[in-house]
Structure 1
Amino acid sequence: MPAVTVNGGKVVYEILGGSGDLIVLTPGGRYSKEIPGLRPLAEALVAGGYRVLLWDRPNCGASDVQFYGQTESHMRAETLHGLLTVLGTGPVILAGGSGGARDSMLTTMLYPELVTDLVLWNIVGGVYGTFNLGAYYVLPSLQTVRALGTEGLPRMKEWQELIAANPDNEQRLRALDSDEFVKLSLRWLNAYVPKPGQTIPGVDDEMFERIRVPTLIIRGGANDLDHPKRTSLEVHCLIEASTLIDPPWPEDAWERALEDRARGRAKQYNMFDTWVLAAPEILKFLGDR
């Protein structure tokens, strides 16, 4: 896969399609661009006349691990800015779900000149959703480094998977300064503590004033604690040029996917398998602009 270097780290990417406006499609969590369910959506968008850029963000897939910035999403936004600048793409459409929605919103806030349209779904928010992110993505590594130093990071399953995808990551992890890693992790963890005036983690609500592009929001499911319906409605209120629609998948799609994964049925129903159902709504939104 092609790669470019941004802020001292390799970023792996892929562009699907031969012509049309470019959509940057970003998944959630620390999942790679190969997470099941993402490529079918990308291919449906290509069939609709667009090019699609898939990328492994720092700490995802085959890209290099990196640790800097106010939050992990701030780092990803800066990385995407660097990637698109090196590629010389010009303004693009940003589309993302879950953590990818947050990354896309923040990129639009910080680099509005890069974005023509914004598409968001599965927006994380609420006490449960934000605490869950901090507990899953920050605390385990923070606790390991406090006990063992950064030499302990390559022992962790999460980082072992990234080392398998990119062997350079082992030395990059070992080379980190333990004290600096703890400081950064505490800063990233603090972003996931719910605060008044922050509808999405680590981002002040006033930042939403910077989003001036046409925006499509697919609201969260009625009982989805990770991506609350309420958060989607609040983001809709904060983004002036936004359109809110009901999800094109079942209201309980996320809960059923979590249930399947907990019962060991992940190969039957991946958490992102339903995302392809958003393709017609995304294409219609982009076609109507």
Structure 2
Amino acid sequence: MAELEVNGGVVVYELIGPEDGEVLTVTPGGRFSKDYPGVRPFAEELAAHGKRVLIWDRPNTGASDIQLYGASESHMRAATLAGLVTGLGLGPVVALGGSGGARDSIVFAIEYPELVRKLVVWSIVGGAFSSMSLASVYVLDEIRTIRRSGIDGILDLVGRAGSWSDLVKANPRNEQRLRDLGAEEFERVMWRWFEAYVPKPNEAIPGVPDHLMRGIDVPTLIVRGGEEDIDHPKRTSFEVHALIKGSRLIEPPWPEDAWERAQEARDAGRGSIFDPWMKAVPTFLDFVAEPARPTGVFPSDPA
């Protein structure tokens, strides 16, 4: 298990594949670790085709240190990924992200364009329902609990996104990190992160103003959202495509109801919500292999 300190917290990561391979970063959604079912097999399949793939426990996932700062959790994670890429001498990279990892990767491309060669995103969260759903999963119970029971209550809190006590079990120093942070600062950060999930007319995805996405200037591949996927709406994928100039929107390489069926399989103990990602490997590799266009030149521009 490799570790690197980034922005005051230890981040656990792993590099898979040949040392001379082109570097791809893989970022899943939720508060799921690099070892959550479906993530590693996806990375290993990419690595089997000669890529060097970075998987990592984002802050507040897996065995990495708990961290709470930034305009949103995605902004914090983008800053962490930048620290990893820079600290390990990996950039510029191809950033791949699904669900919350799509948002993290988009923010990474906005904030650290010099570190990104290409961007691939899918299962993008956006719109009122999915944004408000995320608030209920990641911050609302935390705000209620910290106000009522302080850090002790947070350590006892079990929610749909997992528990803070799980992070302590995976990394015992996390308990002291929470206690050192204190209830007042914990609540202050939760309110700030909550604001990112409040739907706004100028934000296709939570916490990211549209005008910032218009500034993304790298080849970008976007997988269209599923027809009935209320967590990653079809509409949002079109909005992101419209905002990122020169981006390519493709039909999903998995069934339209892949997200719903993967949830059913997970709940029945027969698979992972990330299993469908494997179907996208050939498509993603083809996109990565395409010659990179010069900065500022888009497919519709004259040669």
TM-score between both structures, scaled by the size of structure 1? 0.96
Q: How many residues align?
A: 286
Deviation at 1:39, TM superposition (A): 1.3
- The list of structure 1 runs, each at least 4 consecutive aligned residues, that deviate by more than 6 angstroms after superposition, is none
- Say if 2:275 is the partner of 1:273: yes
What does residue 299 of structure 2 align with? none
Aligned positions of 1:87-98 closer than 5 A: 87-98=88-99
Structure 2 gaps of 5+ residues are 292-303
Q: Does 1:143 align with 2:144?
A: yes
| RMSD of aligned Cα (Å) | 1.1
Instruction: Work out whether 1:117 is the aligned partner of 2:118.
Output: yes
The residue correspondences of 1:1-289 to structure 2 (distance < 5 A) are 1-18=1-18, 19-157=20-158, 158-261=163-266, 264-265=267-268, 267-289=269-291
Instruction: Give the TM-score taking structure 2 as reference length.
Output: 0.92
Cα displacement (A) at 1:258: 2.7
Q: Deviations over 1:96-136 (max 9, x none)?
A: 00000000000000000000000000000111110010000
Identity %, equivalent residues? 56
How many angstroms does 1:46 deviate by? 0.9
> 1:149 Cα shift?
1.1
Which amino acid in 1 is paired with 2:150?
G
The whole-number CA distance in structure 2 between the counterparts of 1:241 and 1:141 is 39
Residues 162 and 169 in structure 1, CA contact (< 8 A), matched pair in contact too: yes
CA shift digits 1:72-98 (9 cap, x unpaired)? 001011111111111111211100000
Deviates more, 1:225-234 or 1:77-86: 77-86
Which sits farther off after the overlay, 234-243 or 173-182?
Answer: 173-182
TM-superposed deviation, 1:219: 1.0
Q: Tell me the alpha carbon deviations over residues 133-166 of structure 1, each in whole angstroms, 9 at most, x when there is no partner.
A: 0000111111110001122221123111111111
Q: Distance in 1 between matches of 2:288 and 2:265?
A: 33
**Please, which moves more after superposition, 218-227 or 177-186?**
177-186
Letter in 2 for 1:223: E
State the alpha-carbon separation in 2 of the partners of residues 132 and 259 from structure 1. Answer: 19
Check conservation: 1:108, 1:210, Cα contact below 8 A.
no
Higher mean C-alpha displacement, 224-233 vs 182-191 = 182-191
Measured after TM superposition, the shift of residue 22 of structure 1 is 0.2
| 2-structure distance, mates of 1:112, 1:133 | 27
CA distance in 1, matches of 2:120, 2:134: 22
Q: CA deviation at 1:276?
A: 0.8
For residues 256-281 of structure 1, give each alpha carbon's deviation from its aligned partner in whole angstroms, at most 9, with x where no partner exists. Answer: 223344xx40x203111111111000
Asked whether the 8 Å contact 1:112–1:210 carries over to 2, the reply is no
Q: Distance in 2 between matches of 1:259 and 1:190?
A: 31
Residue 229 of structure 1: how far off its partner (Å): 0.4
User: What amino acid is the match of 1:161?
Assistant: D
Structure 1 stretch 37-46 or stretch 55-64: which is displaced more? 37-46
